[in-house]
């Protein structure tokens, strides 16, 4: 934009900056500005010595007499205020606190700078910004803007409730997403997991078979990725979804078990993986476990599937509850029990989540691993480094006590934010992993069935 000035289309005045244009607009009520390649000069009339800016303004104001010449004098003291601005108007301008612009603002900036501004907006504001004008919409839906968002600051995830409500932490509001009721999927959805942009839901139909869906709650587009799964207990089926932002693509893993006839505490466990690119299912491994069963929790983190398993008893040595890991690239050995990692809190009251490809566990700080049937004492947050858990935070007592006695707590997290809530409400507690900050937001409506709440990052561009 070198050498560019602004010209008033109504009177021909040349202005050096947006601010000057604003001042001119206030004085004259002119609003027809356009960019000009005419340079704004500090000219002096060689006859009368009056300063001026351009030949145009002097012709119009009658100052240029026949025979007079103009000479450019670059060393004149700067005068960015037009001669006719009175001190009263200057004072009024100073007092004003950035209210209404008389000059259309959006075209002063080239697209890349407008992109930089719009990239600072939270998701809900981006959607509204896309409805302002075609130029803004064009910027927001452009490939370069999407790339900017991809590599930009990670966004605050939302919390999706079971009935199509989504909580936005930036504005502390619930949105009604107008999702089709789950029962329309011809299955009773009992398990929901989420990641960036997408939700995966597992439910058992009346025919006894389980169906697995992937959907984008914002675009309402959905896909059934499995329809005839034999699943004994939907709740105890580890299900996980991971989304790759760069491709974009996703993978869904499901761990199914079946009893072995003739083997009292034996179960055959299978890990199956669905990839969206190309669309296909793969059975990664099948293993027989004696005295173990799979649990509720499952997360894919950095290409590794983690899920909980429980000892059903009568087998030594006693390990208790814990996690096993499976590398989805299939490079490592497939002995699941060799990868067993004990957990620092009882798993029925614990929740696993992927926080920027680190495995995080949120659960009861009681040290008694049989405390699953006792009241919770508090909430702790641990991160897995290798095979060791490190406690990184504890919920302050006043926040925990606010949940009431013996709360049933559910947590879910993504990017930098963890949500912790209780069925009884009355608020959502959040923990910011980056700033190590706890906060509490009152809910104007508390969702029932908090076990079905999950955290997701709203993203329009990912399709199931």
Partner 1 sequence: MSSSSSSSSPSCPKKMITLKSSDGETFEIEEIAALQSKTLESMIDENCASTPVPLPNITGKILAKVVEYCTKHAEVGADAESLRAWDAEFVSVDHPTLFDYILAANFLEIPTLLNLACQSVADMVKGKTPDEIHKIFNIKSTFTPEEEEELRRENQWAFD
379-385, strands of its sheet edge to edge: 351-355, 358-364, 379-385, 388-394
Q: Helix, strand, or coil here: 318?
A: coil
Residue 101 touching partner 1 (CB under 8 A):
yes
288 near 260, Cβ under 8 Å?
A: yes
Min separation Cβ 44 and partner 1, Å: 13
350 near 360, Cβ under 8 Å?
A: no
First-residue to last-residue Cα distance in the chain: 43
Residue 280 touching partner 1 (CB under 8 A):
no
Residue 175 touching partner 1 (CB under 8 A):
yes
Q: Which of 60, 65, 113, 374 binds partner 1 (CB under 8 A)?
A: 113
Q: Which of 32, 47, 59, 80 binds partner 1 (CB under 8 A)?
A: 80
Give, as ranges, the residues between 117 and 136 that touch partner 1 (CB under 8 A). Answer: 117-118, 120-122, 124-125, 127-136
Q: List the x/- string, 151-170, binding to partner 1 by CB under 8 A.
A: ---------------x----
- Write the CB contacts of 41 (distance below 8 Å, at least 6 apart in sequence): 53, 54, 72
Q: List the x/- string, 198-237, binding to partner 1 by CB under 8 A.
A: --------------------x-------------------
Q: Which residue has the tokens 């009241």?
A: 375
Q: Maximum CA pair distance of the chain?
A: 115
Residue 22 touching partner 1 (CB under 8 A):
yes
In 3D, which of 418, 443, 359 has the Cα closest to residue 173? 443
Min separation Cβ 291 and partner 1, Å: 48
- Rounded Cα distance between 31 and 300, Å, is 56
Residue 99 touching partner 1 (CB under 8 A):
yes
Give, as ranges, the residues between 25 and 44 that touch partner 1 (CB under 8 A). Answer: 31, 40, 42
**Token pair in block for residue 219:** 């675009």
Residue 78 touching partner 1 (CB under 8 A):
yes
Residue 75 touching partner 1 (CB under 8 A):
yes
> How crowded is residue 208: how many other Cβ atoms within 10 Å of its Cβ?
9
195 near 245, Cβ under 8 Å?
A: no
Residue 177 touching partner 1 (CB under 8 A):
yes
In 3D, which of 4, 2, 56, 10 has the Cα closest to residue 35? 4
Min separation Cβ 385 and partner 1, Å: 29
161 near 149, Cβ under 8 Å?
A: no
Min separation Cβ 26 and partner 1, Å: 11
User: Which residues are near partner 1 by CB under 8 A?
Assistant: 1-4, 16-22, 31, 40, 42, 74-80, 93, 96-106, 108-109, 113, 116-118, 120-122, 124-125, 127-137, 166, 171, 175-178, 218
């Amino acid at each position: 934009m070198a050498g560019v000035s602004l010209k008033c289309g109504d009177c021909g005045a040349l202005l050096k900056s947006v601010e000057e244009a604003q001042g001119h607009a206030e004085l004259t009520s002119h609003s027809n500005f356009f960019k000009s390649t005419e340079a704004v000069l500090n000219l002096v009339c060689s006859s009368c010595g009056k300063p001026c800016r351009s030949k145009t303004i002097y012709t119009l104001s009658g100052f240029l007499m026949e025979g007079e010449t103009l000479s450019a004098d670059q060393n004149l003291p700067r005068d960015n205020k037009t001669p006719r601005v009175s001190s009263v108007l200057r004072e009024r301008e100073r007092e004003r606190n950035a209210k209404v612009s008389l000059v259309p603002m959006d075209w002063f900036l080239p697209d890349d700078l407008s992109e930089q501004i719009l990239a600072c907006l939270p998701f809900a504001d981006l959607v509204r910004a896309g409805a302002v004008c075609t130029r803004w919409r064009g910027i927001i839906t452009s490939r370069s803007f999407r790339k900017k968002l991809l590599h930009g600051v990670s966004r605050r995830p939302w919390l999706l409730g079971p009935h199509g409500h989504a909580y936005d932490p930036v504005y502390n509001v619930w949105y009604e997403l107008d999702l089709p009721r789950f029962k329309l999927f011809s299955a009773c959805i009992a398990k929901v997991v989420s990641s960036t942009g997408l939700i995966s839901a597992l439910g058992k139909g009346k025919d006894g078979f389980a169906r697995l869906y992937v959907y984008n709650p914002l675009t309402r587009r959905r896909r059934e990725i499995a329809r005839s799964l034999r699943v004994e207990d939907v709740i105890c089926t580890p299900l996980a979804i991971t989304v790759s932002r760069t491709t974009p693509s996703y993978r869904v893993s499901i761990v199914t078990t079946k009893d072995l006839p003739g083997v009292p505490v034996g179960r055959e466990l299978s890990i199956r993986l669905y990839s969206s690119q190309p669309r296909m299912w793969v059975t990664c491994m099948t293993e027989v476990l004696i005295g173990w069963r799979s649990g509720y929790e499952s997360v894919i983190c950095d290409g590794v599937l983690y899920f909980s398993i429980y000892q059903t008893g009568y087998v030594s040595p006693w390990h208790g509850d814990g996690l096993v890991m499976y590398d989805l690239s299939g490079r490592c050995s497939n002995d699941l029990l060799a990868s067993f990692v004990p957990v620092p809190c009882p798993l029925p009251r614990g929740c696993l989540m992927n926080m920027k490809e680190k495995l995080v566990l949120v659960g009861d700080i009681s040290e008694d691993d049989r405390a699953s049937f006792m009241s919770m004492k508090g909430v702790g947050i641990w991160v897995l480094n290798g095979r060791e858990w490190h406690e990184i935070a504890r919920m302050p007592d006043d926040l925990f006590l606010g949940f009431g006695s013996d709360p049933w707590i559910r947590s879910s997290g993504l990017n930098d934010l963890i949500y912790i809530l209780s069925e009884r409400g009355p608020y959502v507690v959040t923990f910011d992993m980056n700033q190590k900050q706890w906060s509490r937001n009152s809910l104007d409506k508390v969702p029932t069935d908090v076990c079905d709440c999950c955290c997701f990052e709203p993203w329009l561009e990912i399709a199931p």
